[in-house]
Structure 1
Amino acid sequence: MGVVIETVVWEPKPLLHIFLFCSSFFCVFLLPCMSTISNRTSTYLDLDSFSTSIPASFLRFQRSFLLVYSLASVMEGLESIYGEFEYAYYGLSKEHMVVSLCAGSVASLLIGTSLGILSDIIGQRKVCVLFCFLHLVVGFWKSVSRHPSVWMASICLSLASSIFSFGFETWMVVEHDKLGYRKDLLNDTFWLMAFYESASLIGSQALANWLIGGNLKRSVTFPSTAIVFLSTMSIIYIIRQWKESPPLTAIEGYKASISACFRGDKRVWFLAWAQACLQFSVAVFWILWAPTIVADGREVNLGMIYPCLLGARMLGSTTVPWFFSGPSPVRTEDCLLFAFLTSGFVLSIVAYDYQDIGFLVTLFCLFHACVGLILPSLARLRTMYIPNELRGGMISLSAAPASAVVLLVLIQKGYYQNIGNAVVMAFAAFGLFTAAGCMHLLKRWGKQPHHDVHKL
């Protein structure tokens, strides 16, 4: 008599999705009420200290930019989700996948680092159009070719991801300053960027699932066609709706300015190192999260866990205005110190020992909630300490150490199998702890709250 063993596929309970998304939207919808109470309280202290009026032109500017940023996030999400399916469809071995990822990391390290400097010199709008053009080329190539070059696609998409990490933020800040809006309004745009990015990535997963469907032939061509359409619409919208701002600095003076900024201000080094540690830990997470969950051989519905992680990031980003809106006594460095320590402890637990899948998913959600808090908070500190004319170059240069270490991890762990997942996770946790130390030093040597060179 045979024994039938039922296979149970683990997936998060629907209540987790509902809790994360409802919490995020409650934080957003309740914020105006709390802001009104805070503003009424502040008027008793100083009638001229706080202004609640937001120009209608700024809201149009903000919505227009968030539309472009959301389209860019959808393109990034489609390529990342569809890329894994594409590797399996073309039958690439693990070694070929690792080599293609290494090629992308090399491109990010050697070329992507210079793109931030280039954006400061020629203008951020041109570089953002280049981002869309790279997606357009890869999407068109995959649509018309039966056997596209995986190497070239990896290189182009890695360069596009490098531009995404600095180009749109720098472009928005420069345009915001050129139009003369209040500096404190930047904080709202920063956390909305993180919120919309996470929501767009979830939307890209839903769109990819709908486009792939059950037809294998359709699943290879339709996502690429969608990327071609989105990138074309983004290029047209950017060119027609946004005028190019003149470069803020000349080529001759840029090298001297960025060298003086690095040599003359240690706080810039603290910000750069914290940004590098965050990028490395996030990259390590997306490489290892799936192998970590399925390490014991259990079947897991990863597609249901992915929106939970991004929902946690959305929730983390919605907490930013609660900390920093109005005359908040909380300093940005204190929040970042707590967030870096928490995320470091989370990765330390994951690296120390394998946990139950439910507990791992909880830890991963907590990690992404911290990331959602860290991203807009670091952008706020960059506005305080880094001149606009150097912002793109500083962000891209800070990403260079992260790209170099990711390349080393891919070679030693993915290709030669010299190190294990726990070692990589522990190294990422150590980097986050050092980033927390940088925030502590930045608080000691930094400016007072709500005051900076830009009169934030």
Structure 2
Amino acid sequence: MEAFYIGFFLVLLLLLGAVELGKSHKDRIITNTAFSSFKNNYLVVYCLMMAGDWLQGPYVYFLYTQYGFNKGDIGRLFIAGFGSSMIFGTFVGSLADKYGRKRASVTYCITYVLSCMTKHSPEYKVLMLGRILGGIATSLLFSAFESWLVAEHFKRGFDAQWLSLTFSKAVFLGNGLVAIVSGLVANLLADTLSLGPVSPFDAASCVLGLGMVIIMYTWSENYGDVSENKSLLDQFRGAASTIASDEKIALLGAIQSLFEGSMYTFVFLWTPALSPNDEEIPHGFIFATFMLSSMIGSSLASRLLARSSLRAEVYMQVVFLVSAGTLLSPVLINFLTTSSGEKGGSISLPGKLQLFSFCVFEVCVGIFWPSIMKLRSQYVPEESRSTILNFFRIPVNIFVCVVLYNVNAFPITIMFGMCSIFLFMASVLQNRLMVAGGKQSALEVSRNWFSESAVDPEAEPLNI
């Protein structure tokens, strides 16, 4: 492996250490023992759930190729997964609100374990069933657990600001550290120990089973709106009506869809962007670099969210603008440089520049997740939280299915340019969300803060 990759990784690791060690008392939230116990229990479960998901990622595509399927067949399998999440997601979210978030979390474990079991079969229909089950499980992963956490947090009387601590730690560990470790474990099982590409899926089943046991014996149940015995259809209609009638919720859903749609598109495009001439790049090591960058972002987010005087509605505008700039980099680099046209070899200078910009984008992703979770806890009503969160994922799944279906129809620069435009739109909508919520604009906040700092250098940012 080139010294460039190792050096780049070490620089990011040092930066993460500097961010973590540089935290002052203003960047920390003072809690109590009861909350710490509650938070740690949730983090253990969340990390196990994410490990069950991350363990599968590196070998899904490879396993399908080992069964003899071509790119078109594999593409249809992936579309089935996203389509399943889109079609069934809203309904399973409503079921979670109606019959309990704890039950929904256990259902996630069972559904995903069944999906993993289908990977032992080379039959296309069985694998398609597995993708459908995986899509349903994904919908539960991104709605039921967060809904349970928020409801349980307030039911136990904890401070609202403490939620941001749990969110940032969940992203730092579950979407960062666990992702890196899971990738290494999957590689150890499949390649080093020569157990084959199905072994990571078996490991995921074991991890999910352990998490399910912890949920069953340590979590209490909570529900959505239990004041009325609403049917599933009425609950579905009620959630749709809530989104349509509340501009802030609708804006939040649009912002999330624009960002996540761009993020999932990036997942498909970063490999050809870094190796347009089939350059030899260490995919697993670059993935670990991205995850480390995301950990830096979540660590930064914990510092931002710890300050009650600085709201996520403000700084997320800047995050979206920076994200738009980073995904525009392939377009600009392609315009300003010429391809060598040589096949193979090591990563080119344009590729190195893009790798840097992609890592900055991953930092933004790390900031995005805990921040959007915090915003959802503020704006999404408790009685239909799971249903609404899955509503938000419908545009994302449609967008990703369209991209997968047409991934070869457009130049890669067009795809990245489209994502950049979407992220710029997210920044505009974020500003509108802040105005709708009665907050000051980022420019006004900056102007007031600098004005106050001129008088008192120790002054905190104004409460917005």
Structure 2 equivalent of residue 389 of structure 1: 383
TM-score w.r.t. length of structure 2: 0.85
User: Do the aligned residues in 2 keep the contact of 1:191 with 1:318 (CA within 8 Å)?
Assistant: yes
User: Do the aligned residues in 1 keep the contact of 2:333 with 2:350 (CA within 8 Å)?
Assistant: no
Opposite residue 188 of structure 2, the aligned amino acid is W
Structure 2 equivalent of residue 13 of structure 1: 5
Opposite residue 182 of structure 1, the aligned amino acid is D
Which of 233, 248, 252 lines up with 1:271 in the alignment? 252
User: Do the aligned residues in 1 keep the contact of 2:97 with 2:223 (CA within 8 Å)?
Assistant: no
Structure 1 equivalent of residue 173 of structure 2: 196
Cα distance in 1, alignment partners of residues 50 and 331 from structure 2: 30
Cα distance in 2, alignment partners of residues 12 and 26 from structure 1: 21
Which of 78, 85, 89 lines up with 1:101 in the alignment? 78
Please state if 1:251 is matched with 2:230.
Answer: yes
Aligned length: 421
Structure 2 equivalent of residue 133 of structure 1: 110
279-288 or 122-131: bigger deviation: 122-131
Structure 2 equivalent of residue 309 of structure 1: 290
Query: Per the alignment, do residues 325 and 127 of structure 1 end up closer, same or farther by CA in structure 2, a change over 3 Å counting?
Result: same
User: Do the aligned residues in 1 keep the contact of 2:254 with 2:426 (CA within 8 Å)?
Assistant: yes
Structure 2 equivalent of residue 377 of structure 1: 371
Structure 1 equivalent of residue 414 of structure 2: 423
Cα distance in 2, alignment partners of residues 410 and 260 from structure 1: 31
Structure 2 equivalent of residue 230 of structure 1: 207
Structure 2 equivalent of residue 442 of structure 1: 433
Which of 19, 23, 42 lines up with 1:27 in the alignment? 19
CA deviation string 1:249-307 (max 9, x = no partner): 34256356424422332111110000101110111011111122111221111111111
Cα distance in 1, alignment partners of residues 82 and 392 from structure 2: 15
Opposite residue 230 of structure 2, the aligned amino acid is I
Query: Which stretches in structure 1 are left out of the alignment for 5+ residues?
Result: 1-8, 37-51, 450-455
Structure 2 equivalent of residue 42 of structure 1: none
Query: Per the alignment, do residues 99 and 177 of structure 1 end up closer, same or farther by CA in structure 2, a change over 3 Å counting?
Result: same
Cα distance in 2, alignment partners of residues 98 and 85 from structure 1: 13
Query: Per the alignment, do residues 425 and 333 of structure 1 end up closer, same or farther by CA in structure 2, a change over 3 Å counting?
Result: same
Please state if 1:166 is matched with 2:143.
Answer: yes
1:36-55 aligned at under 5 Å gives the runs: 53-55=30-32
Displacement after TM superposition at 1:191 (Å):
0.9
TM-score w.r.t. length of structure 1: 0.86
Cα distance in 2, alignment partners of residues 293 and 246 from structure 1: 46
Which of 165, 176, 183 lines up with 1:205 in the alignment? 183
Which of 13, 35, 44 lines up with 1:58 in the alignment? 35
Structure 1 equivalent of residue 314 of structure 2: 334
- Give identity over the alignment, percent: 23
Displacement after TM superposition at 1:13 (Å):
2.7
User: Do the aligned residues in 2 keep the contact of 1:129 with 1:238 (CA within 8 Å)?
Assistant: yes
Opposite residue 251 of structure 1, the aligned amino acid is K
Cα distance in 2, alignment partners of residues 412 and 182 from structure 1: 47
Structure 2 equivalent of residue 124 of structure 1: 101
Cα distance in 1, alignment partners of residues 165 and 32 from structure 2: 14
What is the CA RMSD across the aligned residues, in angstroms? Answer: 2.2
Partner of 1:183, secondary structure, is: coil
Cα distance in 2, alignment partners of residues 116 and 368 from structure 1: 28
Cα distance in 2, alignment partners of residues 348 and 305 from structure 1: 20
Which of 343, 347, 356 lines up with 2:350 in the alignment? 356
Cα distance in 2, alignment partners of residues 362 and 302 from structure 1: 15
385-394 or 349-358: bigger deviation: 349-358
Structure 1 equivalent of residue 443 of structure 2: none
Query: Per the alignment, do residues 418 and 140 of structure 1 end up closer, same or farther by CA in structure 2, a change over 3 Å counting?
Result: closer
Query: Per the alignment, do residues 410 and 255 of structure 1 end up closer, same or farther by CA in structure 2, a change over 3 Å counting?
Result: closer
User: Do the aligned residues in 2 keep the contact of 1:11 with 1:302 (CA within 8 Å)?
Assistant: no
Structure 2 equivalent of residue 297 of structure 1: 278
Displacement after TM superposition at 1:331 (Å):
2.8
Cα distance in 1, alignment partners of residues 197 and 411 from structure 2: 33
Query: Per the alignment, do residues 430 and 200 of structure 1 end up closer, same or farther by CA in structure 2, a change over 3 Å counting?
Result: same
Partner of 1:240, secondary structure, is: helix
Cα distance in 2, alignment partners of residues 25 and 188 from structure 1: 18
Query: Which stretches in structure 2 are left out of the alignment for 5+ residues?
Result: 335-348, 441-463
